[in-house]
Amino acid sequence: MGSTGRTCYSDVLPFTAMVMVECIIVGGNTLFKSATAQGINSYVFTTYVFLVGFLFLLPCPFFIRRQFSFLIVSSLGIMQDPPISNSTSCFNFFCRSSNNQGLKFSIVIKLFLLSLIGYLSQIFGYIGIKYSSPTLSSVMSNLAPAFTFILAFFFRMEKLNLRSYTSQAKIVGTIVSISGALVATLYNGTSVTVSSDSSSLYWIIGGILLASQNFLLSFVLVSQAHIMMEYPVELMVVFVFGLSGLIVAAFAGLIMVRDLDAWNLKPDMMLASIIYMGISTGFLNGLIQVWALRSARFM
């Protein structure tokens, strides 16, 4: 009974959580398309999404039974073996480290570089949706598991046994995902196309950008899995990643969009899209993904 429960926890729950992530992303893509119809800039939208996501992440360290100063002090290598409460709260689960290892500066640098790649991934995705549609974005998101499997195998984080049914299923799934993405990109049919005035060239460009988005996203997931092996503290990883992403997004946004009027927000669908994307992709998705990575040991 106990073994069955552990199997459900390590396999079924992470899978269910990642399905929820995909559903959230589909809704966010549709809202983004609606927001861009009102003229919002992709760089401005991305910056506000990172800002909203970080605002929801900001109070998280205060809820755990460690002091918030541990995040800053431990990154400098000053504090070791912080006190851990025996509480079984959810936040304690996210911040519990098996070896009580402090947050190293090298990990902060890695997360900052990953946030830069994650930012580029979002920019590619938003521009790709502009060139195509949320429907194509949802179809191309099937490339993420395929790219993740390929990268994990390349970095020796995934074992491949051709005699194993599990490995065979992963290979077939990878081939099907890539084939489906190619068909959806190269065939601009009436059942997929949303706007009649979007040319085939724009559709293909959008498909390439969306494929690039999912490749970068897969690279981020694989790299996060590697970081989680070194520092298995989910909430701190998401917190530092969110802060780094906000810094990158704000810096790039202020450089690319210098018109202050473009940063003005109105209480309409544009603002609702930013809040939804910030909470879902910037906050919930980050927590769910790193939790699933640790629970499943790698997906």
pTM of the model: 0.74
**Residues sharing a CB contact under 8 Å with residue 92, sequence separation 6 or more, in sequence order:** 64, 65, 84, 85
Residue recorded with tokens 């106990």: 2
Q: Which of 131, 158, 154, 140 is nearest to 22 (CA)?
A: 140
Domain of 109 in residue numbering reads as: 2-80+87-296
Residue 34: per-residue pLDDT: 76
Q: Which two tokens stand for residue 52?
A: 């909203």
Block mean pLDDT (10 aa), the chain, length 299:
52 67 74 76 90 85 50 45 43 47 82 92 89 81 82 78 73 77 65 53 87 91 84 81 92 91 83 86 75 58
Q: Which of 279, 276, 281, 285 is nearest to 234 (CA)?
A: 285
Q: Which two tokens stand for residue 11?
A: 């396999």
CA-CA distance, 113 to 107, in Å (whole number)? 10
Residues 178, 179, 180, 185, CA torsion sign: positive
Number of domains in the chain: 1
258: left (phi over 0), alpha (psi -120 to 50) or beta: alpha
Q: Which two tokens stand for residue 33?
A: 């398309």
Residue 215: per-residue pLDDT: 93
